[in-house]
């Protein structure tokens, strides 16, 4: 790297730090120190991907072709950088689905603030991606004190120093010397992250495996953080976290994809609970990846439209567009329900769908098909939210049990949210 290029990247990082400062993006002084010390650009591959409206797909942005554009994207405060599309197999016309990225700096540090990670703590990261977040965690937690007993799962990919290359693969534990363990399901993504971490001087244990399983061999952890969104918190994360430890994960419903679960494991160690935090949207955990389309497209037929039940809604559906907090709350009450907006000459309309039913809502004109009255459920959930005083998403919380139970609540666990009978998991 030339001196001028390095100086330019340093200048961009300093400018991004100033912008984050001005936006109160660093909750604690140590966060700014981490941002300045860890070179973000060192964890971004030479090729990244940008969405092209004209092409209707992700198109490559190569550092060699546009070094200034590449550098500006890397240090954009509010935008993630897509580093892989279509699980590494894009077609000749470009990529359709973003499948790995380096998160936007403001989102990275909002999650670190929620995680409340302290020096010396043991952290499990789900979703290594480029390795940038793991490097930040290594800086914060420092060197580890040895390995915990137990049998590992997955394949560990060493990032040991002094070899000039990664130390290879071995069953069970890697050669990491730090308090951080990070799990990545994509082997190619993991290998690139291992090399970037080694080059930058960080040596976490990096495991190629399914993050939903955690990594039992180094448990228990003080903190678990997921960099991928999910709709169900795996029980393994609870059993692998110390009592009093925190689990932080982007959390979504089918109705509202933006949320953040901040859960503390109870003294008994069999459940975790806490209020939702700052809303954000991330790529899905691969094992919980949403289908590209809602169930509507599998259920709808022209014949079903002609035979659908007709009716009139009691409420205008404008709140689905205009009220984030209402939509989040209703999403908690109606797991498995999708809502898709359709813009028409007569104004916006909405398609609702679940695994067995659909509804079309245009103003107050309704058509429904299937065993479930989706409009009635939607309106009942909205009325309950309104009657409760229109609480914000921060007033809601979640309890998750090690055996797979998941129970949303309002204000405290003694007040579970209402849910109708549903026709399948979200």
| Residues assigned a catalytic role | 103
Within a 13 Å sphere around the CA of 320, how many CA atoms are in the beta-carbon half? Answer: 23
Which residue(s) pair with 116 in the sheet? Answer: none
Q: How far apart are CA 330 and CA 253, in angstroms?
A: 9
Q: Based on the number of CB atoms within 10 Å of its own CB, is 310 exposed (0-12), middle (13-18) or buried (19 or more)?
A: exposed
Q: How far apart are CA 322 and CA 347, in angstroms?
A: 15
> Do 153 and 209 form a contact (C-beta atoms < 8 A)?
yes
Q: How far apart are CA 213 and CA 166, in angstroms?
A: 24
Look up tokens 């560990």; give the residue: 156
Question: CA angle at residue 6 from 33 to 49, to 5 degrees?
Answer: 90
> Do 374 and 390 form a contact (C-beta atoms < 8 A)?
no
Question: CA angle at residue 154 from 281 to 141, to 5 degrees?
Answer: 60
Q: How far apart are CA 120 and CA 16, in angstroms?
A: 28
DSSP state of 148: P
Look up tokens 């209707």; give the residue: 56
Q: How far apart are CA 308 and CA 294, in angstroms?
A: 19
Look up tokens 């989102």; give the residue: 107
Reported residue count of the chain is: 426
Cis amide prior to 405 (ω within 30 degrees) = no
DSSP state of 403: T
> Do 203 and 104 form a contact (C-beta atoms < 8 A)?
no
* 7 Cβ contact list (under 8 Å, min separation 6): none
Is residue 181 classed as helix, strand or coil in its secondary structure?
strand
């Amino acid at each position: 790297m030339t001196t001028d290029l390095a100086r330019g990247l340093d200048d961009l990082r300093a400018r991004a730090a100033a912008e984050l400062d001005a936006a109160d993006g660093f909750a604690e002084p140590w966060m700014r120190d981490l941002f300045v010390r860890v070179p973000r650009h060192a964890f971004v591959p030479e090729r990244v991907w940008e969405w092209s409206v004209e092409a209707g797909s992700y198109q490559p942005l190569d550092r060699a072709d546009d070094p200034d554009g590449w550098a500006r994207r890397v240090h954009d405060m509010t935008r993630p950088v897509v580093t892989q599309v279509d699980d590494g197999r894009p077609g000749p016309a470009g990529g359709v689905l973003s499948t790995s990225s380096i998160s936007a700096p403001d989102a990275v540090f909002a999650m670190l603030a929620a995680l409340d990670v302290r020096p010396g703590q043991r952290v499990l990261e789900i979703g290594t991606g480029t390795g940038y977040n793991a490097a930040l965690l290594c800086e914060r937690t420092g060197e580890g004190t040895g390995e915990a007993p137990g049998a590992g799962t997955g394949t560990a990919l060493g990032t040991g120093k002094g070899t000039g290359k990664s130390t290879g693969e071995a069953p069970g534990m890697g050669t990491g010397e730090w308090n951080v363990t990070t799990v990545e399901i994509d082997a190619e993504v993991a290998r690139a992250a291992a090399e970037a971490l080694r080059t930058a001087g960080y040596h976490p244990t990096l495991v190629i495996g399914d993050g939903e399983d955690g990594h039992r061999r180094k448990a228990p952890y003080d903190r678990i953080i997921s960099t991928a969104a999910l709709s169900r918190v795996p029980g393994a994360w609870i059993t692998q976290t110390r009592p009093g430890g925190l689990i932080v994960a982007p959390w979504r419903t089918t109705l509202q994809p933006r949320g953040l679960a901040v859960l503390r494991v109870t003294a008994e160690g069999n459940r975790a609970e806490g209020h939702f935090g700052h809303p954000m949207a991330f790529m899905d955990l691969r094992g919980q990846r949403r289908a590209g389309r809602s169930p509507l497209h599998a259920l709808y037929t022209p014949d079903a439209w002609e035979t659908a039940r007709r009716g009139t809604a009691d409420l205008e559906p404008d709140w689905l567009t205009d009220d984030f907090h209402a939509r989040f709350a209703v999403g908690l009450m109606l797991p498995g329900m999708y809502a898709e907006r359709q813009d028409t000459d007569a104004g916006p309309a909405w398609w609702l769908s679940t695994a067995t039913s659909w509804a079309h809502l245009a103003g107050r004109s309704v058509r429904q098909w299937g065993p479930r009255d989706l409009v009635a459920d939607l309106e009942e959930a909205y009325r309950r939210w309104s009657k409760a005083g229109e609480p914000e998403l921060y007033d809601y919380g979640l309890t998750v049990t090690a055996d797979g139970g998941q129970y949303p609540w309002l204000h405290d666990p003694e007040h579970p949210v209402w849910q109708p009978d549903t026709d399948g998991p979200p």
